[in-house]
Every structure is written in C-alpha cells, then in structure tokens.
C-alpha cells in the first residue's frame, strides 16, 4: 500500500485539515493543523496553483478548479519542522455527497440477495443512492484490517488468525473476505455515499481495541480517505481515541448509555443508538439537535418504526431495508 502523505510509523499525519471537501459556492476548505511547530508552510506539486493558504493557514480552492468537472484534487503541503522538511498530501473532494437519511446496514445486501459487508453490498448501497454504507472492522493476529461483522467467520476467529489465512476465506457471494484497504479503495471511486466505519470492540481487551483504532485511523489517512469516512464504535474510549488522533473526523457513539450532554462534553459528534434507547429517551433527539449533535438510530427495518423516526426528524436511520426507507422518503 502507498504511504504517501504519512510519516513512517506515525498513527496519524503530521498535518490535518479541519475539513476535506469544497463546493463551487464554498471555496474555503478548512484550516491546516500541525502536530508540531512548522515554519514556512507552502503548497507543492502539480495542483499547488489551484489552491491558496491564507495568513492563518486556511486552505482554499480557486474558483476555476472548484467549478471544473473533477471529483477531487490531491494537494501537497510542505514545511520545516524540528527535524527538517515535512510534507503531507491531502485529497480534497468536491462535495456531491447525498444528504438523505438512509444508511445501509452492512451495505445493501438483503433485497439483492448478496453477502453483507461485501464489496458488492457497498456497490449496491451506492447505486441505490444511500447517504452512507455502514461496515465493521476487525484486526487479524498480525495486525491486518478486515471487514466483517462478527468476530468469527466460518468458524475462524479473526483476531487470532493471520492475514494469510483470512485472505483464503470466500464469502457466500464468491468474493474474498475484504480488507479495509480494499473496502476504502472501492468506496473512494465515487463521491455520493459516505463510508460509516464501525471499529469493533476487541474480545482480547482494551489495549487491542485501542491498537485497532490507531491502525484504522492511520490507514484512513494513508489512503487519503478522510472526506469519505465517518466513525462509530460501542467502546466510548475508542470514540475518544479517534477524536484525539483525528479531531476533524465525525465520530458517533453506539452503546446508548451517554446523554447528549455527555457526548458534547467529550467533543463527540453525535449518537447512533438502538431504536429502543431512543424510544425510552425521546427528548434526547431535541437535546442533541440543540447541541448540534447528529442523531442516528439502528437497526430499523419495520415500516411503522421507520415512519415514527422520520416523524421525529432524526438525521439518519441505519437499516437492512434501504430500498424501503428510500421509497418512504421519496413519497
């Protein structure tokens, strides 16, 4: 895998942006942040003239480039740090992402008769026009990242098995068990559907969950996938770890045991709670909205439940029935 844009061995980039998207009407992309004091910041590479950095290090795209029929640009930032020249590459993406409420749970697989968490299920979610496609990430015994919901697949424990063995596994639709690298690569071929990445809680302890978190964030940065990826997790410490590593990322908590006030205090971006939690704590929807937190509810497949949540104006609904939810929204 290419490691452009990363300093070797680091869990995150030396630079980050407050945002990674632009539109023709919103030319300011975001402020450039640094992990250490950096002097003489400048833009490099073939796209340097298409962008500018102002005196407070806000990156902007020029009008002609923003209006061009191009889905993204790679821009290189360079500066002088304590150990010499450092540089980083960002992919800034024209924001054509869909704004509906539909997140396909493990992709769109049920109605299509394919395998959940497969590349085909991701492609189906994109073709349907879902806002997001949710998927789950584990780490092999030798620290390679794979996409699967359960901790086991075909009787094999992912966390206790090396990548060479996991790569031999075939899904029910004939695909190989996807790596995170393959999944991100497929998702980054388009700019319609977000990639909703769940960092699975390790069965081997907290330290391994946090190690998985570091590797996930590192890979997202390595592949320049920041514009596509949003994070979710059941482990609250994992959520906070993501924000510490990449403060600009959108991170939502899954477990359901934190109030919107607590989430806001810890600088998370929203809740992603089971529908039973939201039913019992209906006031949390408005509370979260007032705190500018996003609201997502999982996993909702019944038409009556979907209708109730649409009436509550939650931001997103994660469902195994994206076709049904899309049809309800269109009506």
Q: Answer yes or no: are the C-beta atoms of 254 and 233 closer than 8 Å.
A: yes
Global pTM? Answer: 0.95
Please, what are the domains in the chain?
Answer: 15-94 (2.60.40.60), 102-330 (3.20.20.190)
Strand partners, 17: 32
The chain-wide mean pLDDT, for the chain, equals 95
| pLDDT score recorded for residue 35 | 82
| pLDDT score recorded for residue 4 | 31
| pLDDT score recorded for residue 13 | 66
Q: Which residues of the chain have pLDDT under 50?
A: 1-12
| pLDDT score recorded for residue 7 | 29
Report the 3 state secondary structure along the chain: CCCCCCCCCCCCCCEEECCCEEECCECEEEEEEECCCCEEEEEECCCHHHEEECCCCEEEECHHHHHCCCCEEEEEEEEEECCEEEEEEEEEEECCCCCCCEEECCCCCCCCCCCCCCHHHHHHHHHHCCCEEEEEEEECCCCCEEECCCCEECCEEHHHCCHHHHCCCECCCCCECCEHHHHHHHHCCCCCCEEEEEECCCCCCHHHHHHHHHHHHHHHHHCCCCCCEEEEECCHHHHHHHHHHCCCCCEEECCCCCCHHHHHHCCCCEEEEEHHHHHHCCHHHHHHHHCCCEEEEECCCCHHHHHHHHHCCCCEEEECCHHHHHHHHHC
CA distance 115 to 172: 6
Give φ, ψ of 33 to 5 degrees: -115, 150
């Amino acid at each position: 895998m290419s490691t452009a844009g990363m300093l070797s061995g680091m869990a995150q980039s030396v630079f980050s942006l407050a945002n990674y998207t632009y539109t023709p009407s919103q030319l300011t992309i975001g402020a450039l942040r640094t992990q250490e004091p950096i002097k003489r910041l400048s833009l490099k590479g073939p796209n340097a003239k298409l962008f500018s950095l102002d005196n407070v290090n806000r990156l902007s795209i020029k009008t002609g480039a923003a209006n061009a029929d191009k889905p993204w640009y790679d821009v290189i930032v360079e500066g002088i740090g304590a150990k010499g020249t450092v540089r980083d590459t960002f992919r800034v993406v024209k924001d054509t992402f869909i704004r509906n409420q539909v997140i396909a749970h493990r992709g769109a697989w049920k109605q299509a008769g394919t395998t959940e968490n497969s590349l085909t299920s991701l492609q189906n979610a994109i073709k349907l026009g879902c806002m997001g496609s949710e998927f789950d990430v584990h780490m092999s015994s030798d620290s390679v990242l794979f996409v699967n919901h359960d901790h086991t697949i075909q009787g094999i424990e992912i966390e206790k098995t090396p990548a060479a063995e996991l790569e031999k596994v075939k899904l029910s639709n004939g695909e190989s068990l996807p790596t995170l690298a393959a999944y991100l690569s497929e998702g980054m071929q388009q700019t319609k559907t977000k990639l909703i990445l769940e960092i699975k809680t390790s069965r081997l302890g907290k330290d391994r969950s946090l190690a998985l978190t570091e590797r996930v964030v590192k890979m997202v940065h390595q592949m320049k996938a920041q514009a596509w990826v949003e994070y979710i997790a059941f482990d609250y410490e994992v959520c906070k770890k993501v924000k510490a590593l990449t403060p600009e990322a959108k991170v939502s908590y899954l477990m359901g045991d934190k109030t919107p006030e607590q989430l806001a205090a810890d600088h998370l971006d929203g809740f992603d709670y089971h529908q039973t939690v939201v039913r019992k704590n209906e006031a949390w929807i408005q509370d979260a909205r007032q705190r500018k937190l996003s609201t997502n509810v999982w996993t909702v497949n019944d038409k009556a439940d979907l209708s109730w949540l649409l009436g509550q104006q939650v931001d997103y609904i994660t469902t195994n029935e994206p076709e049904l939810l899309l049809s309800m929204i269109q009506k």
